[in-house]
Amino acid sequence: MTASGTLNAADELRAAGLRVTAARVALLETVRAGDHLGVEAIAAGVRDRVGHISLQAVYEALHALTAAGLVRRIEPAGGPVRFEGRVGDDHHHLACRSCGTVEDVDRVIGEAPCLDAASATGFMVDVAEVVFWGLCPACRPDRG
């Protein structure tokens, strides 16, 4: 535990029943410090922290951390798979069609019938993954 009483990365791995390795700690810390990172960027961050690690080992660790609920995998249509450290809530994403930037947006609250798939299908929905597409402030034609 840290001085503030929160779990550090090694403690979180242990609590999730995962083996604690330097690479897994570095990977979890890299994802949490990053902003919707792709696998190559995560691998580079881990290498900066612990030295060599194969891309296959990064994929395997990401799979384990995702399955344990420590990181979240997102796949905006037409874009690369990305990973984020914000887990445990039902938030959505904004994605720029031009540069590919992805940002978090809190869950839509209120009347949203287009997002109520359960009523029409009989499914019990526990999570919705919504991506709002558009242009980020830097790519908007009307900027500045």
Spell out the domain ranges in the chain: 9-82, 89-134
pLDDT for the residue numbered 90: 77
CA-CA distance, 139 to 144, in Å (whole number)?
Answer: 11
CA-CA distance, 83 to 35, in Å (whole number)?
Answer: 8
Phi then psi for 96, rounded to 5 degrees?
A: -85, 125
Specify the pTM. Answer: 0.79
CA-CA distance, 8 to 2, in Å (whole number)?
Answer: 6
pLDDT for the residue numbered 115: 61
- Residues of the chain whose pLDDT is less than 70? 1-6, 108-120, 143-144
89-134: CATH class: alpha beta
pLDDT for the residue numbered 124: 75
Q: CA-based angle 25:33:28, to the nearest 5? A: 20
**Second-level CATH architecture of 9-82:** Orthogonal Bundle (1.10)
